[in-house]
Amino acid sequence: MPQAFDCHPLTFLAGIYGMNFVHMPERDFRYGYFILLLVMLAIGTGLLWVFRRKKWL
């Protein structure tokens, strides 16, 4: 069960940015893509840490 919750926030972010909107403020920012990757890495690492701390993994 925890593995599914680990993927939901990352899937949400990938789904939003995969829609190819024309008017997204982050698209004009030079480092927007890399910041999104760092945010996704931080979310995944944070959730993994929480799940391991609660001994769900």
- pLDDT digits over 9-53, tens only? 888 888 877 777 777 766 777 887 788 788 888 988 898 898 889
Q: Which two tokens stand for residue 53?
A: 């701390």
pLDDT of residue 5: 61
Q: How confident is the model at residue 6 (pLDDT cuts 50, 70, 90)?
A: low
CA distance 24 to 18: 12
Q: What is the mean pLDDT of residues 1-15?
A: 71
Cα–Cα distance, 25 to 29 (Å, whole number): 7
